[in-house]
A = this chain, B = another copy of it.
Amino acid sequence: LPASPEFDRLRIVLVATRNPLNIGAAARAMSNFGFSHLRVVNPYEEAFREARSGVGASAVLTRAEQYTTVAEAVADCTLVVGTTAGRHRELQHPLRRLENGARLIRKQLASSRVALLFGSEKVGLSNQDFSHCHWLIRIPTREQHISMNLGQAVAVCVYELVRKAGAAPEPEQASKKPGDKQPLATACEVERVTAMVVDLLRASAYMSPSRAPATEEKVRRLLRRLKLSAHDAELWLGILRQIAWKLSSGHS
């Protein structure tokens, strides 16, 4: 698995996970965002075996390492961060909002390994688990529905970690906004479309002769509000020409 050196230093640690689907989902999200080192601590044996042997198990999953204690799972890391849904823990741990915590994690990853811990679906991380952590991260869920699905929590955390990585220049993106980047139609091109619409309206008896100048102005303003690209102006001309042709041929 190719990964940036920084990302290669992160260890996602799942503690006492019960549901094989969640282990698989965590691995998938990690792979999506370029992280490849998954560690599991005391998973339900069956769950881990099932997840690992599942059809389409990812490289992340098959290479996952198994530990029996949190201490061993985080032993080679210089920073250990726990995740929690709660807000009012009585622990003596700094509790950081995800976006702020992620910034600190990235900083640390520049030089050394970081472990990010996720607890079991039912009870999260225990106080014992927390005691291995330097500080905790809280995902900003709302008070009335705090608890996230484990696979989704991992996804949101690893997304936040890579979110800023590409922040500065997104080379591919620049050329990828045809709708925005396309050169605007020149006034001349827009006027050609305008004239075509006006002709159609005249042929359709939409404009009474006495109101023609006012209607024409209205249409002109209407067309300018569209901010047509040169490309779209061409498309419209083609469409309008065809209708005009049909309109005149229907009467001939």
Contacts and interface: CB of A to CB of B under 8 A. Distances in A.
Contacts of A160: 159, 163
Sort chain A's interface into a size bin. Answer: 35 or more
Contact of A135 (B96, B179, B222, B225): B179
Contacts of A201: 239, 242-243
Contact of A87 (B95, B97, B172): B172
Contacts of A139: 159
B95 A29 contact: no
A31 B145 contact: yes
A156 B28 CA distance: 14
Contacts of A172: 87
A92 B162 contact: no
Given A33-B142, A251-B250, A96 B177 contact: yes
Contacts of A152: 25, 28-29, 32, 151-152, 155
Interface in A167-200: 167, 170, 172-173, 176-180, 197, 200
* Chain multiplicity (copies): 2
A98 B174 CA distance: 14
A176 B222 CA distance: 17
Interface string A61-87: 000000000000000000000000001
B151 A151 contact: yes
Nearest to A175: B95
Contacts of A54: none
Nearest to A207: B242
Contacts of A179: 92-94, 135, 225
Interface in A19-73: 21, 25, 28-29, 31-34, 58
A94 B200 contact: no
Contact of A247 (B1, B96, B167, B247): B247
B99 A242 contact: no
Contacts of A166: 97, 140
A111 interface: no
Interface of A: 1-2, 21, 25, 28-29, 31-34, 58, 87, 92-97, 99, 135, 139-142, 144-149, 151-152, 155-156, 159-160, 162-163, 166-167, 170, 172-173, 176-180, 197, 200-201, 203-206, 218-219, 222, 225-226, 228-229, 232, 235-236, 239, 242-243, 245-247, 250-251
